[in-house]
Amino acid sequence: MPVPAPLLDASGFERLTVEVRDDRVVASLDHPPTRNAIDQTMVDEFHAICAALERDPRILIIRGEGGIFASGADIAQLRERRRDDALAGINSTVFDRIAKLPMPVIAAIEGYALGGGAELAFAADFRIATPSLKIGNPETGLGILAAAGATWRLKELVGEPLAKAILLAGRVLSADEALAVHLVTELHEPGELLGAAHALADRIARHDPLATRLTKTVFHLPREAHPAIDNIAQSVLFESQAKFDRMQAFLDRREAKAQAKADAADAAEVAPAHDNHDTKESTA
């Protein structure tokens, strides 16, 4: 029997360490000299991961090593980039690709997520963090704008007034502030963060992968596409074997519970009759 090809060969990666499981991939930003800054090498490695997950959809968990998620883009590289580099959308292209992956993406954020690091987190479907979180977009202080998704994703996530405070006035959110505005949905101590990300991935993985993929796709389509796209996606799922198997399993469980409840009721009715019989015999 032929051995399936590996999902991804990350042995040559220099910025990311990668763990591949049957239903998920964990990508860890791991470059201490730049505090996990996002440079061209890391962008290229993320593209390789995206290519693999587009071929073979799985959940993606993104995290950082060394107590930090990502300090931002590599300023030394940014300093040398010119007009054509900006027009190429080096970071925005890969973040958009991450956002559009078929299965959900979880950002497990420890410590700083600034600039490009914040925009990477914004591209995820779920964001969980540690109490040491600092997240924001200080790009205007460097004479540039947050062009890799923050100018439009952030107002969708937290609303226009707060988005402007972050983008135009350099506000950096703490963990409690990010939790209060639902930019992150959970806070965990550093030693528990990865486990919490896997617990969330486990909850996702319990659902039908095709239904999850189509729900994510439909969710992100513009209002004008609804409800037609919902009906089309549902028509695909209505014909899937998983729908029949999962619904039959649900009906079987419901029937088993109903039968167990009926059996318990019968047993409760029989017990008093036995008690009365025993009482009469004792009296006699």
Pairing between β-strand 59-64 and β-strand 105-109 as defined by DSSP bridges: parallel
Question: Is 139 part of the annotated catalytic residue set?
Answer: yes
Residue written as token pair 């990508």: 27
110 Cβ neighbours under 8 A, 6+ residues apart: 63, 64, 67, 68, 69, 129, 130, 132, 133, 190, 193
Question: Which of the residues 19, 119, 186, 281 is marked catalytic?
Answer: 119
SS3 string, 178-215, reads HHHCCCCCEECCHHHHHHHHHHHHHHHHCCCHHHHHHH
Looking up tokens 């998983």 gives 242
Q: Whose CA is closest to 135, among 95, 176, 100?
A: 176
Exactly one of 14, 65, 110, 139 is catalytic; name it: 139
Gap between the terminal Cα atoms of the chain: 76
The residues facing 38 across adjacent strands are 73
Count the Cβ atoms, other than its own, within 10 Å of residue 191: 8
* Active-site annotation holds for 80: no
Ramachandran sector of residue 76 (left: φ over 0; alpha: ψ -120 to 50; beta: rest): alpha
User: Phi and psi at residue 63, in whole multiples of 5°?
Assistant: -145, 175
HSE-CB for 238 with a 13 A CA cutoff: 6
CB of 59 within 8 A of CB of 104?
A: yes
Catalytic residues: 119, 139
